[in-house]
């Protein structure tokens, strides 16, 4: 069996090329939902960053602590939902259900989600109890 033959899958109508099987998974509703959740979370994080940056420049940091924390927690919820949905639905749609390894982008998304969660927790700390020594 050659390499090109090993990359084919048999169906009722005959062998299907590997590239066509990959293209068949494009356009599922779960992929669109996952993308929308990730982009929505990224947009909320960007807005939270801009609000935090503007509040530092204006000088009213304490006034914006709670809204930024709420935005970061909302982004974390959206991103966790998409990062849990993606591997479940991906494994269901791919015909080879033996073993799947996701690339570095999936790990990077989890890292960004964890750091966003940490930032939200830091924004929840009460800054009135701490003195500034600088």
For the chain, what are the domain ranges?
29-127
Q: Decide: pTM greater than 0.85.
A: no
Q: Tell me if residue 16 falls in helix, strand or coil.
A: strand
Are 91 and 104 in contact by the 8 Å Cβ rule? The answer is no
What's the rounded Cα separation, in Å, for the pair 59 and 100? Answer: 49
Residues with Cβ within 8 Å of 37's Cβ and at least 6 positions away in sequence, in order, are: 78, 79, 81, 82, 85
Are 48 and 66 in contact by the 8 Å Cβ rule? The answer is no
One digit per residue, the tens of pLDDT, for the chain of length 134 reads: 444 444 444 445 556 565 555 555 556 788 888 899 999 999 999 999 999 899 888 877 678 888 999 999 999 999 999 999 988 888 777 766 566 677 888 899 999 999 999 999 988 886 665 555 55
């Amino acid at each position: 069996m050659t390499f090109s033959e090993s990359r084919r899958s048999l169906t009722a109508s005959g062998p299907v090329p590997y590239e066509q099987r990959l293209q068949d998974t494009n356009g599922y509703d779960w992929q669109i939902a996952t993308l929308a959740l990730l982009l929505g979370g990224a947009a909320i994080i960007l807005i939270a960053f801009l609000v935090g940056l503007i509040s530092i420049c204006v000088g009213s940091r304490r006034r914006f602590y709670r809204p930024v924390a709420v935005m970061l927690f909302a982004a974390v919820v959206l991103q966790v939902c998409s990062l849990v949905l993606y591997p479940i639905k991906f494994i269901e749609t791919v015909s080879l259900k033996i073993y799947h390894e996701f690339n570095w982008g999936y790990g990077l998304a989890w890292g960004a989600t964890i750091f966003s969660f940490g930032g939200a927790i830091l924004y929840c700390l009460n800054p009135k109890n701490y003195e500034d020594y600088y």
